[in-house]
Amino acid sequence: MIEEIDVYIQKLPGYLDVSLPRYMTEHSAGMDIYAAVKKDETILPGQRKIIPTGMAIALPEGYEAEIRPRSGLAIKNGVTLVNSPGTIDADYRGEIGIIMINHGEEPFVIRRGDRIAQMIIHRVCKVSWIECRQLDATIRGDGGFGHTK
């Protein structure tokens, strides 16, 4: 069974018409997030912009929200997110902004209400470091990038 939690969300003034994040299918892991631009925004090839969402959230303690790219925008237009995944901490109360970049060859236009990213809510845990002189051995050991064939 999938855990469900309540999360408070606030539509910021001037953005009441923008949809709340929502799951597009029954088994979607991520909720689509919508652009809350006041007028069409164009992202030129190689350019990045912060796109407003017109919303703020209050996550429960022990949770974080990850902001991820939409695969359709990436494959069709070369548009993705600069810091992916982005993290929204449980104590952040400001507007969620989506940092987008255009890796495509054509200008990309974002209109109010466009689906621009996905949000996934996760549990988090805190780490208590235990310093040691040597770590336990594994078959991989210190084999780095490209170690496995």
C-alpha–C-alpha distance, residues 98 and 69, integer Å:
9
- Tell me: cis bond preceding 107? Omega within 30 of 0 counts: no
- The CATH number of the structural domain formed by 8-123 is 2.70.40.10
Q: 35: Cβ–Cβ under 8 A, 6 or more apart, which residues?
A: 18, 41, 51, 52, 53, 98, 110, 111, 112, 113, 114, 115, 116
Closest CA to 72 of 101, 103, 115, 111: 115
Domain limits of the chain? 8-123
**Tell me, what's the pLDDT at 143?**
77
pLDDT tens, per residue, the chain with 149 residues: 888 999 999 999 999 999 999 999 999 999 999 999 999 999 999 999 999 999 999 999 999 999 999 999 999 999 999 988 999 999 999 999 999 999 999 999 999 999 999 999 999 999 999 999 999 998 888 877 766 66
**Tell me, what's the pLDDT at 149?**
63
**Tell me, what's the pLDDT at 109?**
98
DSSP bridge pairs for 67: 86, 119
